[in-house]
Amino acid sequence: MTMVAICTKSGICVDEHFGHADSFYVFEIDEYEMMLKEVRFAERYCDCSHTAPASHREDRLDKIWELLHDCNMLFTAKIGEPPRKYLEDKGLMIVEMDCPISDLREKLKATP
């Protein structure tokens, strides 16, 4: 079984930029089904004002990591390099794509 987190605005598609996500849909996926486990809420990584000190953004990433630490993968429409590196260094696989959430199980099966 794989645990994945998804950045979504609609709840239907992977369609949210990581920096704008204030929630993450967490699914359990196995070879037979994909089941929503919960929605986890977080403070957005990006405040879009570009005035927050770097330490504040690092604190936000630490909190997001606490929320996602049990996930193997994060699906997002886009993610900037600093949060990507931080999360990948923690062991979270980042996948950028824009597709319906319902297609993820098949896409994972096709991945070597």
Split at pLDDT 50, 70, 90, the class of 86 is: very high
* CB neighbour class for 2 (10 Å; exposed up to 12, middle 13-18, buried from 19): middle
Neighbours of 46 (CB within 10 A): 16
CA distances from 13 to 6, 42, 44, 74 (A): 9, 19, 19, 13
Span 20-51, pLDDT tens digits: 999 999 999 887 889 999 999 998 888 765 65
Indicate if the pLDDT at residue 53 is higher than 90. no
Split at pLDDT 50, 70, 90, the class of 69 is: very high
To which CATH superfamily is domain 2-110 assigned?
A: Dinitrogenase iron-molybdenum cofactor biosynthesis domain (3.30.420.130)
Provide the whole-model pTM. Answer: 0.89
**What residues does each domain of the chain span?**
2-110
CA distance linking residue 21 with residue 84, whole number of Å: 14
Cα dihedral 104, 41, 90, 73, rounded to 10, equals 0
CA distances from 26 to 5, 8, 41, 48, 100 (A): 4, 11, 11, 25, 15
Greater model confidence, 110 or 78: 78
